[in-house]
Amino acid sequence: MPSVFTRIMSGEFPGRFVWKDDRAVAFLSINPLRPGHTLVVPRMEVDHWLDLPPDLALHLMGVAQSVGKALQKGFRPLKVGLLVAGLEVPHTHLHLVPFNALTDLDFRNQEKNPAPADLDRAAATIRAALRELGYAQAAE
């Protein structure tokens, strides 16, 4: 059975994409820790990040770095955090979170019902920053 992330990538479930390439995508979390919380997901279904082919792991880190630069530019946080958790969905994904304090990275503080307009604004901010940084992979 395909993972929820595979179903998002196929268009079966909605997603606010900010990055698309042939090996990975990035889209906003539906339960963000902070505005701009983005997930970088390989197109290949791999449950545990330790099982990723090394070249795909390297690619995901490159995508995370590119999207992270856009998060830094668009949201101006002190840092952009990178977290690999993966208990809730059996499909490797990297969490990118603009943050100003360690408490911003506490998953107990996820926003359970974010306003769709806020998510749309965050996605537009990230896409615009990616384009300004010269990344053709910025999703439309």
Helices (H), 15-106: 54-75
Q: Report the share of the chain in percent with pLDDT over 70.
A: 100
pLDDT for 42: 98
- The answer to whether 59 touches 88, Cβ cutoff 8 Å, is no
For residue 107 the two structure tokens come to: 């998953």
- Alpha carbon distance 30, 128 (integer Å): 20
Tell me what the mean pLDDT of segment 57-68 comes to: 98
Residue position matching structure tokens 């979170």: 97
- Alpha carbon distance 116, 20 (integer Å): 21
pLDDT per residue over 15-39, tens digit each? 999 999 999 999 999 999 999 999 9
Report the predicted TM-score, pTM, of the whole model to 2 decimal places.
0.96
Query: Could you tell me the pLDDT band of residue 41, with boundaries at 50, 70 and 90?
Result: very high
Tell me what the mean pLDDT of segment 82-107 comes to: 94
Closest CA to 28 of 47, 5, 56, 46: 5
Q: Is the pLDDT of residue 140 over 80?
A: no
pLDDT for 62: 98
pLDDT for 88: 86
Query: Could you tell me the pLDDT band of residue 87, with boundaries at 50, 70 and 90?
Result: confident
pLDDT for 85: 87
Torsion sign across C-alpha atoms 36, 37, 39, 40: positive
Fold of 4-132: HIT family, subunit A (3.30.428)
Residue 9 identity: M
